[in-house]
Chains A and B, each alone.
Chain A
């Protein structure tokens, strides 16, 4: 069977399971006795095993199987979780992740067998022992049925039917055990009726059996015929059949108390599984996994619709017909709702990115020999998928930064009257049309003097330029190849600096700020738009060119008399607005046109970049509009000032100004 069509689904789901393994194992590390957690972890491992098996990823399947055994032992109270076992389990999850990476890259799991890991997992259990237990169980289980089945057997005999019991053994190389078992069931049911199976059907469907199972059937056919029918199914190694006589059977549990309790336990396990199944069923019926490319197509179509809508709106002004206007308004409402709906479909919680950090920070704390706790909040904050996908790297960098540069050694913290263990907070929340993500630590803060010294060293700052504000000095940190770190650790020297973080955030149309206080800590604040595709913009003109400025970055629009523009510090033009000094720039000059300065009054658009305000002089305001952001393409990549283009209602193109660059 060609499974490649399911590969994407497998990857997505496997990612989810690995993530939940990581999450739950972190929690388990805190509460090693928590049975519910062990159960969760077991279920994830179990599902993963089944999935890997179905896809034919044998090595991955073997590894998860070994892991599952350990977890099963822990679940059944035969094994106590300790830190050694946790380490092996974490390593196993890492190895699974590697498998998945290889699968993503190549479509196959590769040849790595991780034998050592499998051995350590088996070693935890003393594996051969376990096999002995299994075979002992088999021996006592023979010909024991519950009363219900015994009555069925009796009835079958009275009606002239035969009762057979078959022990079916699957080929050890068989990949889809449950599917094989299902085929056996189906084949047998053509010839008779199955009244009992061991393990129970549910367990067989869940692949909760090794390579053997037994079924008891009622049939009029001779034993040999049924046996042949079973053996005709491929990958069945053996099917041993015996005829069951009424006198041979006995009621289960009459002999041994143990087996009864075992039976109870296993039915309980089945119940849990069933409940979970139903939950899963409900969820799948409500949600659908959609390929992101399809969503992109949908988004593009909505964009086109919005463009054509603006165009029709343009016509409407000409005709001045009431009915026409009403229909346009209706169209407007529908496009807006459609846009919102498509946007919502594309929204995913930032949890997708956040969820991998606890594990990362645990490893980091060990690596650095520091003590700190990661507290996350707002994981359910939703952002457009395209942004979420890009967030990982900048956040990893900032978190590493906080752990490595921010948090002090435990002794130093105690000396300074702080709790021994540091605190790193990662939080996300919505703020209007933005999503804000903060990375905060309670460490030593950024050493302004040190940054200053370094800036002078690098020739970025002259000794006499002492009037720079703290904020301006901190901004140096975002310059390429600026590192205040004295010693190179494992973490630094990756060639990634804060400048890369900043570039990435700005590429996403966002910005980043730092707030720091010596001895108290540092906070990085990232502000991002909710979506990259469609934004509200103000259209302005200079000369005969139209430009779009994203509304999100506009603070206000004012008219300024020419006389109110003052010149300070060698030709810098400023205005005073409510006692705040705001530098003025002319859009004409910025985009390389001649400015017409002979006016009495200027229209000034005040754009904000963090707390920094800049006034941009434009000729005329055309109004506010939904615009669809289109990339300028790879050939024009990297043009500063312009963040993209948009198509206006009349089909002409307008540049979208990058507000981050306007205020530079």
Chain B
């Protein structure tokens, strides 16, 4: 049984292991970094620390142009090597998911999620952070 943060991207629900998440920040000014991938929106000043920010909607492909009142940046910590901010549309809940909650039929991994979990009628795409953060070999 592990804890997941459930959030919304456009009209889909996604989940990310809470242990990766260091902070949830409100939207803040982002400075563009030239010569980077389009989904890398730039960097923010996180209390003196420079942190790159990825638009998760663009990266995953659920594009939605505007940032709203509920838009948040999830600051994730990748193995203490670096921090990255993930822009998401709305934080919904923090829940415990057990093995039984995962749909075994959907275990074949597509690009960014490795499984789908059911929670109270909600279908949650569980995100594989590694796939999100690193370009896959075939893309290079």
Contacts and interface: CB of A to CB of B under 8 A. Distances in A.
Interface stretch (B1-9, B45-53, B58-66, B114-122): B45-53
A636 B48 contact: no
A636 B29 contact: no
Residue among A545, A641, A652 with max Cβ neighbours from chain B (10 Å): A652
Contact of A653 (B36, B50, B83): B50
Interface string A609-642: 0000000000000000000001111111001111
Interface string A592-606: 100000000000000
Contact of B44 (A307, A592, A634, A653): A653
B83 A633 contact: yes
B84 interface: yes
Nearest to A641: B35
A584 interface: no
B45 A647 contact: yes
B34 interface: yes
A636 B81 contact: no
B31 A642 contact: no
B24 interface: no
A654 interface: yes
A50 B123 CA distance: 69
A655 B84 contact: no
Contacts of A633: 50-52, 82-83
B4 to A, nearest CB: 23
B35 A634 contact: no
A645 interface: yes
B48 A641 contact: no
Interface residues of A, number: 24
B33 interface: yes
B48 A645 contact: no
Contact of A645 (B35, B43, B82, B83): B43
B138 to A, nearest CB: 20
A641 B32 CA distance: 13
A590 interface: yes
A641 B4 CA distance: 38
B40 A651 contact: no
B33 A639 contact: yes
Nearest to B48: A304
A636 B36 contact: yes
A651 B50 CA distance: 11
B31 A634 contact: no
A641 B81 contact: no
A444 to B, nearest CB: 41
A591 B43 contact: no
Interface string B50-87: 11100000000000000000000000001001111000
Interface string B15-42: 0000000000000010111111000101
Contacts of A631: 50
A632 B34 contact: no
Given A645-B43, A647-B45, A636 B52 contact: yes
A642 B83 contact: no
A635 B52 CA distance: 7
Contacts of B44: 653
B43 A632 contact: yes
A640 B29 CA distance: 23
| Interface bin, chain B | 20 to 34
Contact of A651 (B45, B49, B133): B45
Contacts of B84: 635
Contacts of B49: 630
Nearest to A645: B50
Contacts, number: 66
A655 B30 CA distance: 12
Given A635-B82, A636-B43, A645-B43, A630 B50 contact: yes
Contacts of A590: 34
Contact of B34 (A304, A642, A652): A642
A544 B82 CA distance: 28
Contacts of B43: 632, 636, 645, 653
Contact of B40 (A636, A641, A642): A636
B45 A591 contact: no
A209 to B, nearest CB: 51
Residue among A590, A592, A632 with max Cβ neighbours from chain B (10 Å): A632
Nearest to B83: A633
A634 B81 contact: yes
A644 to B, nearest CB: 8
Nearest to B29: A652
Contacts of A652: 29, 31, 45
Contacts of B40: 636
A304 B31 CA distance: 19
Nearest to B28: A651
A631 B83 CA distance: 12
Given A636-B52, A645-B50, A655 B82 contact: no
A630 B32 CA distance: 15
Contacts of B51: 633
Contacts of A640: 35
Contacts of B52: 632-633, 635-636
Interface string A410-452: 0000000000000000000000000000000000000000000
A535 to B, nearest CB: 16
A639 B33 CA distance: 9
B29 A592 contact: no
Contact of A592 (B34, B50, B83): B34
Contact of A647 (B32, B33, B48): B48
Interface in A299-353: 304, 307
B50 A655 contact: no
Contacts of A630: 49-50
B81 A655 contact: no
A591 B50 contact: no
Given A304-B48, A636-B40, A651-B45, A645 B31 contact: yes
Given A632-B43, A633-B51, A633-B83, A639 B36 contact: yes
Residue among B35, B44, B49, B82 with max Cβ neighbours from chain A (10 Å): B35
Given A632-B43, A647-B45, A655 B29 contact: no
B29 A641 contact: no
A209 B41 CA distance: 70
B120 to A, nearest CB: 34
Residue among A590, A631, A653 with max Cβ neighbours from chain B (10 Å): A653
B104 to A, nearest CB: 33
Contact of B45 (A636, A641, A653, A655): A653
Nearest to A657: B34
Contacts of B34: 590-592, 639, 641-642, 655
Contacts of B32: 545
A296 to B, nearest CB: 14
A591 B82 CA distance: 24
A632 B50 contact: yes
A653 to B, nearest CB: 4
7 contacts: A630-B49, A631-B50, A633-B82, A635-B78, A636-B36, A636-B43, A653-B42
Which 3 interchain pairs have the tightest Cβ spacing? A591-B34, A653-B31, A634-B82
Given A634-B82, A647-B50, 11 more contacts: A545-B32, A592-B34, A633-B82, A634-B81, A635-B83, A636-B40, A636-B43, A642-B34, A645-B33, A645-B50, A655-B34
